[in-house]
Structure 1
Amino acid sequence: MHLYVAARLYRIDAIRSRIRPGAWALGALLLWLVYLGGVHLGDEALDWRWWPGQFAMTWLGILFITSVCLLVSDLATCFGYWWRPHNRKLTAGAALAGALVSAFAIYQAVRTPVVVEHELVLKDLPAHLDGTVLVALSDIHLGAQRRAAWMERVVERINAVNPAAVLLLGDQVEDEPANDPRLAGVLRAIRAPRGVWAVTGNHEYYGNAAGTIAEFEAGGVRWLRDERIELLPGLHLAGIDDIGSRMRNGGNILSGLDQLYPGAAQGATILMAHIPAAPVIDRAAARGVGLMLSGHTHGGQIWPFNYLVAQRFPYVDGAHHVGDMQIIVTRGAGGWGPRMRLWKPGEMLKLTLRAPR
C-alpha cells in the first residue's frame, strides 16, 4: 500500500512540478523505514517510543483508507486508460478524499465516547427495580495515548447519566498498567452508589494483569473474576475472567461460566464477558442468563473490517437476542492499533432496565 500510494500521488501535477523523482522516492523510502521502526518499537511503551509506534499504526490506517480511495479512482479510469484528460485530476481528488476521510477517522477515535442508550426488559427483574440505570464501557485501552486526562472526560460523561453502577467490560488498558498517578483519583470520582465493577480482557493478560487489577482497585474498582454478586436486591451481576488465553491455547473457554452457573441462573442476571465467543453466548443463554454484555470487537473499528470481524464472532455490534437472552456487544470507548474509527465513534452504554409486565 505504501508503494502504491507513493506512486499514485506522484502522478498529481502539483507534486510532480515541485519535487524531483529522486527526492520523492527517497522521501517515500525514509517514511517507510520510520514506519518499520515504529512497528518494531510498538506503541504500548509510555516513553518516547510511543511516538514512532503510534505513527506506524496510524500511518497504516491512513494508507488503507487512501489506497481504497485511489483504487476507486484507478478502476474508474481503468488505471489511466480512460478519461485521460481528467485522470490526474481524479487521482488528486481521490488523494484529497483519502486525507479528509482519514482525518475524520482520527477525530472519531480521539473524541470522548458518545452515550448510546438501550432500554430493555430484563426477565425476572423485580418491579421495584424498574427504571434502574447502569453504564457499561469496554475497550478503554488506557496507556500511552489515553491517560487520566482523557478518562476524566469519560467520568464526567458517566456522572451525567447518574447510574446506579458502572460496568467495565475488559481491555481497560493497552497492555501494561497505565502507571498514571492521577488515575486512582479520577476513577474514585465516578458517582455510582452500587459501585464500579470490572472484568478482565485479553489486553490485561498481554501485560501485567496483577498490576492492572491493583491499579484499578486503588481507584475503587472491584473485579469479578469468575464471580457473581447481588448488585441490588433481586438483580445479580456475574463476571467471567477473560477467555482469550484459553482460546489461544486450546483450553476450555467455558470453565469460568460453568463454575459460576453449574445449573440454571436464578433471578434477574447480567453477565459480563469481554469476548462474545459463540460457545459462551450459547452456554449463557442455556443457563438462563437474562443479559450478556461484551466488547472486544471494536465494532470492526475501521470499515469494512467489521465484515471480517463478523467471520469470527456472531455479533459485532449492538443489541441482539439469543433465545430468551439479550446480548449487547459494544464497539468500545477507546480503540487499538490505528487511532482511527470509521464510521462510528467510541461509545459508552446507558442501560435502562425494565421489569416484565
Structure 2
Amino acid sequence: MFSIVLNIIGTLLHLYVAARLATLPAIGSRIAPRAWWSGVLFIWLVYIAGVHIGDEALDWRWWPGQFALTWLGIVVVMALPLLAVDIVTGFGAWWRAAVPALRGGAALAGLLLAAFALFQGMRAPVVVEHEVVLRNLPGALDGTVIVALSDIHLGAQRRSQWLGQRVQQINALQPAAVLMLGDLVENDPVRDARLAPTLRALEAPLGVWAVTGNHEFYGDVDATVREFQEGGVRWLRDRQVELAPGLMLAGIDDIGAAMRRGDKLTTGLARTLAVPAAAVAGTGTGTRAATILMAHIPATGVVDAAGALGVDLMLSGHTHGGQIWPFSYAVQRRFPRFVGAHDIGGMILYVTRGAGSWGPRMRLWQPGEIIKLTLRAPS
C-alpha cells in the first residue's frame, strides 16, 4: 500500500513539475511540445521501472533504482517553490505578465534546493556534542564519553568504505562505548567481506553495542545480526548489561517486529527492565545504577513507559529528523519528540536524525549526525 501511494504521489509531482516547466519561455521556445512530453514520458517510465526494480542489487539494476529515488526527491523539492508561485498568482490567473518570470525563478530555486539537499545527503555526518547529566550516575563515571549513531542504512548507497570513514570519525572522539541505534542496514544483510574488519577497527573499551530497527526485519535479521557480531558488535535484544559499575545499558528489539508477533508496544521494555538496575548491577548498596536505554523508535508509549521505569537516558533514531522538509511536519505528528533532546520527567530522551538516509540520498535542511555524549554525574 505504501509503495502504491508513493508511486501515485511521485507520478503527480513529476507531471506537475513538467507542466510548469513547459510554460517557461526558455523551454517552450526551444523544445516542441511533442518532444518535451515524450521526454517526460520516458523519464516517468524509467522512474516507475526503477521503483519496481529496487536499488539493493549491486549490478545494472542499481542505476534505475537509484535514479528513481533521486528523481522522487528532486521533484518533491522542485515542486515546493513552483507551488508557492501558483498559490501567489492564483495558478496563473493573477499578475499574468509576471507569471513566466516568477515560475522561472521558482524553477531555478527548486534546482538549487535540490542540489543543496543532495549535498547535505551525501556529505559526511557532522559530530554533535552534548553533555548529559544522569541523575543516578556515580561520580567515578563523570566525564564518560558515549558515541551514538543510528540509521546508517548500509546497502546500495553506503557500503563498508563509507562505514570505515565513520569509524575514523568515531575513534577521533575517543569514546568509552559506541551505541548503534538500529536501521544499520537498508533491508538485506550487507554481505561484504570488509564489514567485519571495518567494525573491529572501532576503539571503545566498554564495547560496541547495537539494537535492531525496523529495516533489519525487512530482510534476514538473523543473518544481519551475525554479520555485525563477526565485527565485534554485541546486540541487546530485550536485555540489559552492566556497562560499568553503576551504569547499566539496556536495549529493546524493534517494537514494530514485536507488535507483529502479537506483543504490546511496551512488552519488550517491561521484560528488559523487569529487574531493578541496582539488583542487576549487584552493587549491594541499595543505590540505583544509572540506566541508558537504546530503542530505535521513539514511540510515545515507549518513551513514557521508560521514564516511569526509571531510565535515565533514552537514545532513539528512526525519524531522520524529517530528512526532507516539509516531511518533518508529518513525522512530528507521528512522533512529537522527533529530533533532539527532551526532558521527560527527569529522563533525558535524545532522538538523533541519523548518520545516513533512506530513499533519496538527500537531506533538507540538516545533514546526518553522529552524537557525542559526555555523561555527567549530578553536582
Q: Matched residues in 2 for 1:41 and 1:249: separation?
A: 29
Distance in 1 (alpha carbons) for counterparts of 2:224 and 2:272: 23
Counterpart pick for 2:302 among 273, 280, 293: 280
> 1:133: Cα distance to partner?
0.4
Q: Distance in 2 between matches of 1:323 and 1:273?
A: 18
Deviation, structure 1 residue 263: 5.3
Aligned residue pairs, count: 357
1:226 to 238, 254, 261: 238
The residue correspondences of 1:90-101 to structure 2 (distance < 5 A) are 90-101=102-113
Q: CA deviation at 1:197?
A: 0.4
Q: Which residue of 1 aligns with 2:257?
A: 245
Q: How does 1:316-331 map to 2 (within 5 A)?
A: 316-331=338-353
The answer to whether the Cα contact below 8 Å between 2:258 and 2:268 also exists between their aligned partners in 1 is no
Q: Quick check: which one's helix share is greater?
A: 2
**Which runs of structure 2 are paired with 1:33-112 in the superposition (5 Å)?**
33-112=45-124
Residues in 1 aligned to 2:21 and 2:339: alpha-carbon distance in whole angstroms: 36
Displacement of 1:249: 6.0
Match for residue 329 of structure 2 among 284, 307, 312: 307
Q: TM-score, normalised by structure 1?
A: 0.97
Q: Kindly provide the amino acid, as one letter, of the partner of residue 206 in structure 1.
A: Y
TM-score by length of structure 2 reads 0.91
Relative distance call for 1:249 and 1:308 in structure 2 (3 A) is farther
Q: Where in structure 2 are the equivalents of 1:145-294 lying within 5 Å?
A: 145-248=157-260, 251-262=263-274, 264-266=276-278, 267-294=289-316
SS in 2 for 1:270: strand
Contact 2:240 2:273 (8 Å CA) reproduced:
no
Distance 1:258 1:229, change over 3 A: same
Task: Give 1:97-136 correspondences, 5 Å limit.
Answer: 97-136=109-148
SS at 2:136's partner residue? coil
How far, CA to CA, are the matches of 1:317 and 1:41 in structure 2? 32
Task: Give 1:89's aligned amino acid.
Answer: A
Q: In the alignment, is the contact (CA less than 8 A) between 1:272 and 1:293 conserved in 2?
A: yes
Q: 1:20 aligns with which of 4, 7, 32?
A: 32
Contact 1:263/1:287 (CA < 8 Å) preserved in 2? no
RMSD between aligned residues? 1.3
Deviation at 1:199, TM superposition (A): 0.4
Partners of 1:133 and 1:140 in 2: CA distance: 21
Letter in 1 for 2:217: Y
Distance apart, 1:109 and its partner CA: 0.9
2-structure distance, mates of 1:301, 1:102: 13
Q: 1:75-129 CA deviation, whole Å, 9 max, x = no partner?
A: 2222223333322111111111111101111111111110111101011111111
- Which 4+ residue blocks in structure 1 deviate beyond 4 angstroms? none
- Give the drift of 1:334: 0.4
What CA deviation, in whole Å up to 9, does each residue of 1:228-252 have, x standing for no partner?
1111111110111111123456531
Find 2:318's aligned residue among 281, 284, 296. Answer: 296
CA contact under 8 A between 1:65 and 1:102: conserved in structure 2? Answer: yes
Match of 1:335 in 2: 357
Cα deviations by residue, 1:133-173 (Å, 9 ceiling, x for unpaired): 01000000000110111111111110111100100000000
Asked whether the 8 Å contact 2:150–2:317 carries over to 1, the reply is yes
Report the 3-state secondary structure (helix = DSSP H, G, I; strand = E; otherwise coil) of the residue aligned with 1:85. helix
Which piece of structure 1 moves more, 81-90 or 296-305? 81-90
- The CA deviation at 1:219 is 1.0
For 2:23, the equivalent position in structure 1 comes to 11
Partner of 1:350: 372
What letter matches 1:259 in structure 2?
R
Query: What residue ranges of structure 2 are gaps of 5+ in the alignment?
Result: 1-12, 279-288
Q: Which amino acid aligns with 2:321?
A: G
Separation (CA, whole Å) in 2 of partners of 1:314 and 1:2 = 31
Deviation at 1:51, TM superposition (A): 1.7
